[in-house]
Amino acid sequence: MNTPPPVIEIRGLRKTFRDFWQRPTVAAVRGIDLSVGPGEVVGLLGPNGSGKSTTIKLLLGLLHPTAGTIRVLDADPRDTATKARIGYLPEVTCLHKFLTPAETLHYYAGLFGLDGPTTRARTRELLRMVGLEAAAGRPVGEFSKGMARRVGLAQALINNPDLLVLDEPTSGLDPIACREVKDWVRQLAAAGKTIFMTSHLLADVEDICDRIAILCEGQVRAEGRVQELLQRPDAVNLTLEGLTEAQIEEIRGELARRTGRAVPCGRPRIDLETFFLKVIAAADGRAGAPAPTADFLAASPRTGDGAAP
């Protein structure tokens, strides 16, 4: 059985920035090897200046590598036909501030060469998905950071891409919008999209990604499946419900007797995000309406499937 080629294949990637006189200034990426398979959700983590955004720009052909090779969807990242299958959300949402969200999406659809009816249909679906239908006629220069981020996400999906590259997708969003973005990413992954993302928010990456790579000073310091990297193979958690204090003490005593040491015992906590969302949902009476991502995915043929010339 043939294994499908990786969606992203990076080998020995190096990038050194140079000044006007071509003297090396910063070695941003120092020999990265990374592979992303079809349908995977891979997160790139790292502190500021670790080379995450540089790696993404190299993947998109915006920067030229100093050394090494990059293959994206089995082609050179500068190949325009390949770029037709990629959606990209930049770290800072860069929009033409005089355009409305609908005009912004029409502009990006035009860059993909989508025809008029396809553009109009996708614009409608995406604006509904990101919850900006009501603001479709306002210039994006008037938008809050979170609203602009939603427009950015919509433009990244205008071509219904096979590969989605997200640079800090939840940056600047409130917890509700963060949860929505994570839900969209999960749904897109379930629909077979490959997603490569960076984030400073470790909890977001942990929630979304199948695999992570931790970048520091331009090198991958750790890489693997999230569960495997975070799991402690020498320990186990038990969560029991409905026990009385006496029963708990009895179990602790038994465990201490068997292991020969005291066993810590406490009440499990839900995370703050879940608690916040419950409070907000209770306050405005909404029960978490399903995101319309699935509708968009069902309605939108891929760019390569005949929607574009």
Partner 1 sequence: MNPAAAPSRSTAARRAWRRPLAALARTTLTESMQQPAVLLLTLGGVVATAFIPLLQFHEFGEPGRLARDGALAYQLTLGLVLAVAAASAAIQREIAGGTASAALSKPLSRDAFVAGKFLGVAGMLLHFWYALLAAMLIAERVAYRVAGTDGEPVGATDSRAQAFLLLAVPLALAVAGLLHNRRRARFGIAALRGLQAILTLGLLAAFGFDRLGAWRPAADNLDLRLVPVSLLILATLTLFAALATALSTRLKGGATLVVCSLVLALGLAADPLLAPSRPLPARLAAHLLPNVQSFWLCDALTGGGSLPLSYVGGACAYAAAWSLAALALGMLAFRHCDIH
Write out the residues near partner 1 by the rule CB under 8 A: 17, 57, 60-64, 80-81, 83-84, 86, 88, 90, 92, 94-96, 98-99, 106-114, 137-139, 155, 159, 165, 309
The nearest distance, CB 144 to partner 1, in angstroms, is 18
Asked if 139 and 97 count as a contact pair (C-beta separation under 8 A), the reply is yes
Distance separating alpha carbons of residues 273 and 278, to the nearest angstrom: 9
Question: Which one, 46 or 77, has the nearer CB to partner 1?
Answer: 77
The nearest distance, CB 72 to partner 1, in angstroms, is 11
The nearest distance, CB 193 to partner 1, in angstroms, is 16
The nearest distance, CB 80 to partner 1, in angstroms, is 4
Question: Which one, 54 or 187, has the nearer CB to partner 1?
Answer: 54
The nearest distance, CB 242 to partner 1, in angstroms, is 54
The nearest distance, CB 41 to partner 1, in angstroms, is 20
Question: Which one, 80 or 239, has the nearer CB to partner 1?
Answer: 80
The nearest distance, CB 101 to partner 1, in angstroms, is 14
Distance separating alpha carbons of residues 63 and 56, to the nearest angstrom: 9
Q: Do strands 86-89 and 163-167 pair parallel, antiparallel, or not at all (unpaired)?
A: parallel
The nearest distance, CB 3 to partner 1, in angstroms, is 27
Alpha-carbon torsion (49, 52, 54, 55), positive or negative = positive
Question: Which one, 214 or 218, has the nearer CB to partner 1?
Answer: 218
Cα 253 to chain centroid, rounded:
45
Question: Which one, 16 or 219, has the nearer CB to partner 1?
Answer: 16
Question: Which one, 21 or 98, has the nearer CB to partner 1?
Answer: 98
Distance separating alpha carbons of residues 196 and 35, to the nearest angstrom: 11
The nearest distance, CB 9 to partner 1, in angstroms, is 19
Distances (CA, A) of 223 to 6, 36, 96, 174, 191: 16, 12, 37, 29, 25
Question: Which one, 40 or 167, has the nearer CB to partner 1?
Answer: 167
Question: Which one, 156 or 291, has the nearer CB to partner 1?
Answer: 156
Question: Which one, 187 or 303, has the nearer CB to partner 1?
Answer: 303
